[in-house]
Amino acid sequence: MTNRREIVSKVEMNRIEKLFQTKSSRVLNVYFTAGYPKLDDTVSILKALETSGADLIEIGIPFSDPVADGPTIQASNDVALSNGMTLKLLMEQLKDVRQEVSVPIVLMGYINPIVQYGIERFCADCAECGVDGLILPDLPMHEYLEVYKPVFEKNGLLNTFLITPQTSEARIREIDNNTSGFIYMVSSASTTGAKTGISEAQEAYFKRVNEMGLKNPRLIGFGISNKETFDKACENANGAIIGSAFIKVLGQEGDMESNIKTFIDQVIN
């Protein structure tokens, strides 16, 4: 087991880094909640997303109290939890995922379930499954630097911090220095899924950050729901993240795989 982990972290280059080396624009990152719509959908959603052309996939670890999320993702969290999703089960589902899926995978989750799972064990299991990066939105920077960073690094996991339109320039620099993989640019002052369309003020913020010359690639998320918003976001960043709009697709009637394909097609082509 340990051997395999060492190979993952030392020999192979992290898949997120590799992605941004070969593709620096129109990178599509898609978010879904593990355990939604059905408990065992995780791997089939991953496969369908990869075949449809997603460049990066973010799997949400469901939590009972997702304060940064709007109604759509909240509801997917509730369904996933009542389906019986747990972090332990997610790790089991992802165990052999690298035999079937090769796009970079990021786990996103509120900190409490991870703390209960145990941070060392969590990171080791992530590495074991072939997870490439983590987004833990309520992890404070100082705690990341003092406690989490060494464990992430030991397991070859990259760390993404968020910035928002209200984040000060000094803090954006600090975040850029402590992020690896990519920066998650929250498009507006909002919870997930709250706003539609991209305003001039938002574009001005995208441009302002674009001109800062940050070290890390940037992906814009929140309110990206279709081709129009994806294109707009990509003008001033390396790509964008679709969350709530994709959760709605997963909730649609009909064949899930073809729904996914139709949706992703519309966004990127």
Partner 1 sequence: MKIKVDERGYYGNFGGAYIPEMLYPNVEELRDNYEAITSDPDFKKQFDQLLKDYVGRPTPLYLAERLSEHYGAKIYLKREDLCHTGAHKVNNTIGQILLAQRLGKKKIIAETGAGQHGVATTTVCALMGVECIVYMGEVDMARQKPNVERMRILGAEVRPASSGSKTLKDATNEAMRHWINNPTDTHYIIGSVVGPHPYPEMVARFQSVISAEIRTQLKEKEGTELPNYVVACVGGGSNAAGAFYNYYDDEAVALVAVEAAGLGNTTGKSAATTTLGKPGILHGSKTLLMQTEDGQVVEPYSISAGLDYPGIGPVHAHLFETGRGTFYSVTDEEAMKAGIQLSRLEGIIPAIETSHAFAALKQMNLKSDDIVVINLSGRGDKDLETYIKWGKY
Tell me the sheet residues that pair with 186.
221
Torsion angle, alpha carbons of 114, 120, 121, 122, to 10? 40
Q: Which of 69, 125, 128, 176 is the catalytic position?
A: 69
User: For this structure, is 96 an active site residue?
Assistant: no
80 sits near partner 1 (criterion: CB under 8 A): no
User: For this structure, is 235 an active site residue?
Assistant: no
Q: How far apart are CA 164 and CA 220, in angstroms?
A: 10
Could you tell me which stretch among 8-16, 27-35, 110-118, 239-247 binds partner 1 (CB under 8 A)? 110-118
CA distances from 239 to 5, 141, 234, 268 (A): 30, 24, 5, 11
Q: Which of 2, 99, 116, 269 binds partner 1 (CB under 8 A)?
A: 116
Alpha carbon 123 to its chain's center:
16
The CA-CA-CA angle for residues 184, 113, 171, to 5°, reads 30
Amino acid identity at 34: A
Site for partner 1 in 120-149 (CB under 8 A): 137-140, 142-143
Nearest CB to partner 1, comparing residues 32 and 161: 161
161 sits near partner 1 (criterion: CB under 8 A): yes
Angle of helix 227-235 relative to helix 200-210, nearest 10 degrees? 40
Nearest CB to partner 1, comparing residues 87 and 233: 87
Please identify which residue in the block is written with the tokens 């799997």: 59
Judge residue 3's burial from the number of C-beta atoms within 10 Å of its C-beta, 0-12 exposed, 13-18 middle, 19 or more buried.
Answer: exposed
Nearest CB to partner 1, comparing residues 140 and 150: 140
Site for partner 1 in 40-69 (CB under 8 A): 63-65, 67-69
Nearest CB to partner 1, comparing residues 7 and 67: 67
Pattern 175-214, partner 1, x by CB under 8 A? -----------x--xxx--x--------------------
Q: Which residues form the catalytic set?
A: 58, 69
Binding site for partner 1 (CB under 8 A): 63-65, 67-70, 74, 78, 81, 86-88, 110-117, 137-140, 142-143, 161-164, 166-168, 171, 186, 189-191, 194
